Amino acid sequence: MDVVCSGVVLLMILPIAPVAVAAAKESAVNLLEAEALRKSGWWGDTTTATNVSAHCHWFGIICNDAGSVTEILLPVYGIYGELTNFSFSSFRNLVRLDLSRNELYGAIPHQIGALSKLTYLNLSSNHLRGELPSSLINLTHLAQLDISVNWIDSLIPPGIGNLTSLVALDLSHNYFVGSIPPTLGHLSNLASVNLSNNILNGTIPSALCRLTNLSQLDISFNYNVGGSLPEEIGQLKSLIELKLSSNQFYGSIPPTLGHLSKLTSLDLRGNELYGAIPHQICALSKLAYLDLSFNELEGELPSSLVNLTQLALLDVSSNLIESLIPPGIGNLTNLATLDLSHNSFWGLISPTLGHLSNLDSLDLSNNHLNGTIPLALFNLTNLFRLDIQWNQIYGSIPSEIGNLQIFKYLHLGSNRLTGQIPPTLGNLTALVNLKLPYNHISGSIPSEIGNLRYLESLDLGSNRLTGQIPPTLGNLTALAILDLSSNQISGSLPLGLSDITSLQILDLSSNQIRGPIPTQFVDDMLKPYRPIFTLNLSHNILSGTVPSSLIQLSDVDLSYNALEGELPCDLGFQFGSERFVGNRDLRYNSTLCGASPSVMGNHRHHTLYYIIVLGVPLLVFAITGGLVIYICCFKKVEVELMDNKHGDIFRIWNYDGHMAYEDIIKATNDFDVSYCIGTGGYGSVYRARLPSGKVVALKKLHRLEGENPNFDKSFRNEADMLSKIRHRNIVKLFGFCLHKRCMFLIYEYMDRGSLFCILRDETEAVELDWVKRVNLIKGIASALSYLHHDCDPPIIHRDVSSNNILLNSQLEATLSDFGTARILELDSSNQTVIAGTFGYMAPELAYTMVVTEKSDVYSFGVVVLETLFGEHPREFLSCISSQPNEPIMLKDLLDARLPPPTNPLVVRNLVLATALALDCVNANPKCRPTMQQVVNRFEVGRREPTRPLHTIAVNQLVSPPVLSLPDQTYTVV
């Protein structure tokens, strides 16, 4: 090239020679650039450039007329690697650099400061860590800096105040610590600052209030930024959006906010603000989104609030407001969400609410409202949620309620409602949740309720209902909770109810139900596999005997009925005798049952602990959490309009190919049901064939998880951990997508589904022969040992169960759902969350919420027994812990669908696995082996001799001290 160039120079006539020299220099620069681009490897094995400017035609490269690179735009390009290998100093003319949504890791190199002409730098949505380099301050032309969604954990360098050209700064979704540097106040061109979702502390520097061009300021979700809101904030006259939610701001809301006449969105949710809501806020005529919830605001709602006619969301919930609902509220005709809940609103529910024709969610719960439900509410045809529970509303439920056909959530509980349940409720076919408990509702349950086929929860408890349970309730195929307790319902147990396969809690206690508990009723209940089923029939007039198959439920209460005969021993032992007291003719012989009353008592204690220790916090969480989640959910409509820029995160790793968000949407036809291969508590699993031909599994999470503010951060934490895990028995997570509307995890696809399903399929269970089962057990042991002992910090799976062990086409097992369990438990309003782990949960979790790796060991033990027995070892566990005198032969326990093993090596492994599993399920965590010990025992055990299978009793395999519970003695009488 040089030769060609000098040739050019030679041919030039003198007067234009300086230009030619410049051209030569340019070419040299261009070559340097081409070389730097090639070395980056970002374009794969691009062959060496044949002419000077070939690289200018590479994807994402833009050159100037002289052939020098001015823009490198490679968002979502699958770049995996560190930036340290990139020769920044070669690009003197670079103006724009966009490497967002790739898989860059490591630190942002100091050399980036060499890009002295840069105006646009976007490194968002990568895995970058460490500090922001101080050389950033060399980028004096930078107008836009976006480093959001990374793992940067440093102070915000004060030097950032030297980037005086900066217009937009986004450092959100990182781990920035310390306080907001006052030097930001020097950046007089700044229009948008997003520092949300970091761990910043300190106060808002008053210097920031000089930024009169600022239109967006978001400091939300730092949890630690606090102090009082500076009066000077009123100087930010250009502000359109101000988000300070989820921090520790205290003191009163400065009236100067009323000067921000362009403001459309004000979010002060989740702080410690007190005092009255300043009426000056009502001057913000453009305000569309006003969230003051979860503070300590008091006094009345300013009456001029009703002038904010642009409002689409008004949320003042969870404050100390004592006020009437201003009648003028009917002027706010753009309102979609109105939440006044958890305050002290009093007086009537203003009928003018009926003018809010765009309203879709109205929450007035937990106030002191009285009067009747205004008929006008039922003109609100967009309403899908109405919550007025915990007030003092009286009168009857108007039959006009049947007009609201898109209704999903109706909560009228804990009021003073009288009259009957209007049969028109049966028109609300979209209803998911119908709660009317703790009222004075009388009459019978209208059979039309049976039309509500999407109903998941029906709570009519503690009313004055009479008559029989309509058989149509058996049509409620989505029902999970049915509570009709504390009424005066008569008749017999309707067979159809126990048939509802999704039902988890059936509470008919304290009624006047008579007749026997039909065997059919119990059999139907046991037909589907339900990890949890609670049946409460106490305080009725049931007669006949107690069906022994009830033992398979997770909780049963039959006390105070007219049951008779002999109570089966195991029932009394399992649920405690008090669950059967008050039945005059029911005999229970604790002595014959081989357990002393004290044992019974202890056992009862256990179950109670479960309920108290787990139940109460979960309940509290379900109430508060549910509320928080709910509010976020409906806020979202607005948020999305205003901030859809950072709503989504799409990350891919561990994957040897290109995969884009769009591919996935296309491959599943936007998550069409026809691609769904399973549905669980947290979400649904889809199968997607990507354009490359590869098949992946997608687990799409229920929408609500994404609305939980805590979720995102922990989600990304866990995902970061997962990205580093490589083990052949741990399912590969390729990536995830966090998007407001659509959140999913991308997994390696395991053809054969879960161990749980395979064991329940007669053919597949046989295919999973003894050798494969032993390998499966060893594989999972090795995976857990890896997590507990080879990862730093150690990782506790927390949800080891046969549901979470997936098998590939060779029936090799991998542990899955790893790490998500813990996060997903945050949303405890979802009852299946508890259910999923129930039969596998270590008993100490009933006493302490502290999870150690020993709880995984316990769950592992249960899974091993399940694998060997072919079914959940529920009964076995309760029976072995009572130290039976009769030997229990191992051969009788092994899955009978497989021929008994004959190969001595296999027998030895099965015996070993059983013995280890028994150690693992020891009630005392300290006595359980570590997973490392389990793996070692398998190694060593290969050399141990073994006896013929038919001579081996399980009792002999139990190490003697192993089964004794701490602080508890079993007395065998």
Which parts are annotated binding residues for ATP?
A: 699
Supply the minimum distance, in Å, between the C-beta of residue 26 and ligand NAG.
21
| Smaller CB separation from ligand NAG, 114 or 362 | 114
Choosing from 46, 70, 135, 189, the residue that interacts with ligand NAG (CB under 6 A) is 135
| Smaller CB separation from ligand NAG, 174 or 485 | 174
Strands 733-738 and 313-315, how do they pair? unpaired
Q: At 540, list the tokens.
A: 């009725």
Supply the minimum distance, in Å, between the C-beta of residue 350 and ligand NAG.
44
Integer CA distances (angstroms), 69 to 29, 338, 847, in order: 10, 53, 64
Contact mark string toward ligand NAG, 778..797, x via CB under 6 A: --------------------
Q: Name which of 321, 255, 337 is nearest 288 in CA terms.
A: 337
| Smaller CB separation from ligand NAG, 110 or 703 | 110
- Going by the DSSP 8-state scheme, the letter that residue 28 receives in this structure is H
247 belongs to the binding site for ligand NAG (CB under 6 A): no
Supply the minimum distance, in Å, between the C-beta of residue 201 and ligand NAG.
4
| Smaller CB separation from ligand NAG, 177 or 660 | 177
Choosing from 113, 351, 354, 518, the residue that interacts with ligand NAG (CB under 6 A) is 113
Q: How many CB atoms lie within 10 A of CB 395?
A: 15
Rounded Cα distance, 474 and 278, in Å:
53
Cross-strand partners of 754: 806
Q: Name which of 404, 432, 438 is nearest 418 in CA terms.
A: 438
237 belongs to the binding site for ligand NAG (CB under 6 A): no
- Going by the DSSP 8-state scheme, the letter that residue 944 receives in this structure is S
Q: Report which secondary-structure segment, H or E, holds 936.
A: helix 931-941
87 belongs to the binding site for ligand NAG (CB under 6 A): no
Supply the minimum distance, in Å, between the C-beta of residue 202 and ligand NAG.
6
Rounded Cα distance, 962 and 920, in Å:
9
Supply the minimum distance, in Å, between the C-beta of residue 111 and ligand NAG.
5
Q: Name which of 812, 814, 800, 819 is nearest 861 in CA terms.
A: 800
Q: How many CB atoms lie within 10 A of CB 794?
A: 12
Residue that has been written with the tokens 């520790």 in this structure: 248
Q: Report helix, strand or coil for 39.
A: helix
CA dihedral 832, 838, 843, 848 (to 10 degrees): -10
| Smaller CB separation from ligand NAG, 250 or 394 | 250
352 belongs to the binding site for ligand NAG (CB under 6 A): no
Supply the minimum distance, in Å, between the C-beta of residue 419 and ligand NAG.
56
Choosing from 78, 178, 582, 647, the residue that interacts with ligand NAG (CB under 6 A) is 178
Choosing from 38, 92, 110, 703, the residue that interacts with ligand NAG (CB under 6 A) is 110
Q: At 606, list the tokens.
A: 């256990």
- Binding-site residues sit at 699
Q: Which of the residues 503 through 532 are near ligand NAG (CB under 6 A)? A: none
Supply the minimum distance, in Å, between the C-beta of residue 219 and ligand NAG.
14
Q: Report helix, strand or coil for 108.
A: coil
Supply the minimum distance, in Å, between the C-beta of residue 108 and ligand NAG.
11
Supply the minimum distance, in Å, between the C-beta of residue 162 and ligand NAG.
4
Q: Name which of 813, 873, 868 is nearest 840 in CA terms.
A: 873
Given the rule CB under 6 A, which of 131-139, 849-857, 871-879, 941-949 is the region that contacts ligand NAG? 131-139
Given the rule CB under 6 A, which of 21-29, 130-138, 733-741, 927-935 is the region that contacts ligand NAG? 130-138
# binding residues, ligand NAG (CB under 6 A): 13
| Smaller CB separation from ligand NAG, 177 or 962 | 177
Supply the minimum distance, in Å, between the C-beta of residue 112 and ligand NAG.
7
Rounded Cα distance, 806 and 800, in Å:
11
Active site residue 799: yes
Q: Report helix, strand or coil for 85.
A: helix
Given the rule CB under 6 A, which of 134-142, 381-389, 748-756, 909-917 is the region that contacts ligand NAG? 134-142
Q: At 37, list the tokens.
A: 């681009």
594 Cα distance to chain centroid? 45
Supply the minimum distance, in Å, between the C-beta of residue 66 and ligand NAG.
22
Q: Report helix, strand or coil for 233.
A: helix
| Smaller CB separation from ligand NAG, 86 or 384 | 86
Given the rule CB under 6 A, which of 135-143, 242-250, 616-624, 704-712 is the region that contacts ligand NAG? 135-143
Contact mark string toward ligand NAG, 145..174, x via CB under 6 A: ----------------xx------------
Choosing from 111, 334, 442, 968, the residue that interacts with ligand NAG (CB under 6 A) is 111
Choosing from 68, 122, 138, 150, the residue that interacts with ligand NAG (CB under 6 A) is 138
Q: Name which of 388, 361, 467, 393 is nearest 423 in CA terms.
A: 467
CA angle in degrees (0–180, nearest 5) for 622-623-629: 75
| Smaller CB separation from ligand NAG, 178 or 182 | 178
714 belongs to the binding site for ligand NAG (CB under 6 A): no
Q: Report which secondary-structure segment, H or E, holds 525.
A: helix 519-526
DSSP character string of 750-803: -TTEEHHHHHTSHHHHHHS-HHHHHHHHHHHHHHHHIIIIISSS----S--SGG
Q: At 889, list the tokens.
A: 């032969």
Residue that has been written with the tokens 């199968």 in this structure: 687
DSSP character string of 275-338: EEPPGGGGG-TT--EEE--SSEEEEPPPGGGGG-TT-SEEE--SSEE--B--GGGGG-TT-SEE
137 belongs to the binding site for ligand NAG (CB under 6 A): yes
177 belongs to the binding site for ligand NAG (CB under 6 A): yes
Burial class (CB in 10 A: 0-12, 13-18, 19+), 587: exposed
| Smaller CB separation from ligand NAG, 161 or 496 | 161
| Smaller CB separation from ligand NAG, 130 or 518 | 130
Q: Report helix, strand or coil for 905.
A: helix
Q: Is the dihedral of CA 668, 671, 675, 678 positive or negative?
A: positive
**Given 98, 339, 799, 827, which residue is catalytic?**
799
Residue type, 708: N
Greatest CA separation found in the chain? 122
117 belongs to the binding site for ligand NAG (CB under 6 A): no
| Smaller CB separation from ligand NAG, 133 or 234 | 133
Residues 85 and 109: beta-carbon distance below 8 Å? no
Q: By beta-carbon distance, which residue lies closest to ligand NAG?
A: 113
Q: Which of the residues 187 through 216 are near ligand NAG (CB under 6 A)? A: 201
Q: Report which secondary-structure segment, H or E, holds 609.
A: helix 597-609
Supply the minimum distance, in Å, between the C-beta of residue 154 and ligand NAG.
10
114 belongs to the binding site for ligand NAG (CB under 6 A): yes
Cross-strand partners of 276: 298
| Smaller CB separation from ligand NAG, 67 or 161 | 161
Cross-strand partners of 216: 192, 241
Given the rule CB under 6 A, which of 57-65, 111-119, 232-240, 258-266 is the region that contacts ligand NAG? 111-119
Residues with catalytic function: 799
- Give the footprint of ligand NAG on this chain (CB under 6 A): 110-111, 113-114, 135, 137-138, 161-162, 177-178, 186, 201
